[in-house]
Amino acid sequence: MLQRPGLVDIGANLTHAAFRDDLAQVLERAGHAGVSTIVVTGSSVEASAQAAQLAEAHPDMLRATAGVHPHHAGDCDAGTIAALRRLAAHPRVVALGECGLDFNRNYSAHPDQERCFVAQLELACELDKPLFLHSRDAHPRFAELLQAHRDDLPDAVAHCFTGEREELRAYLDLDLYIGITGWICDERRGLHLRELVREVPRDRLMLETDAPYLTPRDLRPQPRARRNEPAFLAHILRAVARAREEPPEALGATTARNARRFFKLESGPDA
């Protein structure tokens, strides 16, 4: 594990084609911005394998997750879960996911999404691996499926939380961590988060960019093609700190500590 302190971006889609030509520079900028660890999100078996390979190629900064996003749930079968089980054994893979429910885009049928989600919940229970969770317009069904497995589940984080108070309370009651992105910087649709983020306990809060998506709208100047990247995590930190009325330095240290505990980075292969 990295010995130098720094921010942790718990979710960045660095296997995306947007980073194909300049990943080295992206990682360098992240380091200069105070980000010491980035968890690369796996959203399918193929993308998860690529995420693990990236993490292996950049062991000082990157870790990875392995999972099937609900958009790809229609392709999820026994072979998929077996492949995720193998990927989870990779020393750089620190969590299962991104998995969950997405009733907004509905790229996969709801029964397929639920079946694939439950299969990954069961795999997490089997492997005692933390979960990187996705829920969009799927409350309360998402919480119901989690509740049915919660007694046997390890730690889990509600990635890119954008919901309302009722949903937040349900997730906190399930003892989830809460991941906050640049959505909080969006004056059109993220203002409610500036209130709700105050209600997240300090030991349950983590930060992420979800790069290349969700570029903070109030970032100046806006990056080329509006591509988000991990270097902008410091901007998100400042927005969250303002909303919570906390010093950014202290909050950054707290969220990074939470992430290292959640992903068990202290006991990782470099420790």
- What pLDDT was estimated at residue 1? 34
- Give residue 54's domain range: 7-267
pLDDT score, position 2: 38
Q: Is residue 1 part of a domain?
A: no
Tokens of 176: 């989830």
Query: Residue 270's pLDDT is what?
Result: 38
Q: What is the mean pLDDT of the chain?
A: 95
Residue 166: predicted pLDDT: 98
255 lies in some domain: yes
Per-residue pLDDT tens over the stretch 193-215: 999 999 999 999 999 999 999 99
Task: Indicate the DSSP class of residue 82.
Answer: H
> Is residue 266 predicted with pLDDT exceeding 80?
no
Q: Mean pLDDT across the stretch 249-266?
A: 95
Is the confidence at residue 18, as pLDDT, over 70?
A: yes
Domain tally for the chain? 1
Instruction: Establish if 25 belongs to a structural domain.
Output: yes
DSSP character at residue 222: P
Query: Would you say 153 and 121 are in contact if contact means Cβ atoms under 8 Å apart?
Result: yes
Q: What is the mean pLDDT of residues 103-115?
A: 96
Tell me if 35 sits within 8 A of 8, measured CB to CB. Answer: yes
Does residue 132 form part of some domain? Answer: yes
Q: Is residue 61 part of a domain?
A: yes
Give CA–CA dist 152/148, Å, rounded: 9
Instruction: Examine residue 128 and state whether it is found in any structural domain, yes or no.
Output: yes
Asked if residue 5 has pLDDT above 70, the reply is no
CATH of the domain at 229: 3.20.20.140
Task: Using alpha carbons, list the distances in angstroms from residue 45 to 66, 94, 120, 135, 264.
Answer: 7, 15, 12, 19, 23
The model's confidence at residue 86, banded by pLDDT at 50, 70 and 90, is very high
Single-letter amino acid, residue 146: L
Q: For residue 159, what pLDDT is reported?
A: 98
- At 211, list the tokens: 């790069």
**Residues 6+ away with beta carbon under 8 Å from 244:** 197, 198, 251
Asked if residue 221 has pLDDT above 50, the reply is yes
Residue 3 has pLDDT above 90, yes or no: no
How far from the centroid of its chain's Cα atoms is residue 128's Cα?
18
Q: Is the pLDDT at 222 greater than 60, yes or no?
A: yes
What pLDDT digit, counting tens, does each position of 61-72 carry? 999 999 999 999
**Residue 64 maps to a domain:** yes
Q: What is the pLDDT of residue 151?
A: 94
pLDDT score of 23 = 98
2 within a domain of the structure (yes/no): no
